[in-house]
């Protein structure tokens, strides 16, 4: 007599229920896991997020896991005295947004804000900061 049948009808029903629960759980993880992973994410920034630098950057750049949508993409910069004008935000072939700075930055804290959408079309926003110190 096989081991499966030695559990009797109740044991077989419990095993079937457990197997069904396991299969359904796996399907849920695959379906919802891929939906969560569908949004673009930041991979890298210039300047580095939360960094302290002494040389003023010539541009701001944010790399993503997907190509940004040019129709909604924007970079902006806020410094110690308010908003700082940037060049037009460019969508680069390397899945990044880039904007150049019109002048060298002075000492202080800065916040870079970005807005774009990835493959799923959902507009996303984010920000990172960096600090400029006087050159040595």
Tokens matching residue 41: 């994410």
pLDDT of 117 strictly over 50: yes
CATH 2.60.40.1220 fits 42-132, yes or no: yes
* Reported pTM: 0.72
Q: How confident is the model over 16-61, as pLDDT tens digits? A: 667 666 666 655 545 454 445 578 999 999 999 999 999 999 999 9
Per-domain residue ranges for the chain? 3-36, 42-132
Query: What is the DSSP code (8-state) at residue 72?
Result: T
d(CA 124, CA 122): 6
- 127 within 8 A of 112, measured Cβ to Cβ: yes
Q: Estimate the share of the chain in helix, then strand, then coil, as percent rounded to the nearest 5.
A: 25, 40, 40
Contact 62, 45 (CB under 8 A): yes
Q: What is the pLDDT of residues 74-92, one digit of tens each?
A: 999 999 999 999 999 999 9
Tens of pLDDT, residue by residue over 93-107, are: 999 999 999 999 999
Please give the sequence-ordered ranges of beta strands (E in DSSP) within the chain, or none if there are none.
Answer: 42-46, 51-53, 59-64, 74-79, 82-84, 90-92, 96-100, 108-117, 123-132
């Amino acid at each position: 007599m096989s081991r499966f049948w030695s559990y009797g009808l109740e044991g077989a029903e419990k095993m079937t229920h457990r197997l069904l629960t396991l299969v359904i759980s796996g399907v849920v993880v695959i379906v919802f896991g891929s939906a969560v992973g569908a949004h673009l994410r930041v991979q890298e920034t210039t300047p580095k997020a939360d960094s302290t630098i002494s040389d003023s950057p010539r541009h701001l750049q944010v790399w993503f896991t997907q190509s940004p949508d040019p129709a909604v993409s924007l970079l902006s910069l806020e410094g110690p005295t308010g908003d700082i004008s940037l060049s037009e935000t460019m969508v680069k072939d390397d899945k990044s947004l880039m904007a150049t700075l019109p002048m060298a930055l002075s000492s202080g804290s800065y916040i870079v804000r970005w807005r774009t959408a990835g493959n799923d079309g959902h507009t996303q926003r984010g920000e990172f900061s960096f600090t400029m110190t006087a050159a040595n």
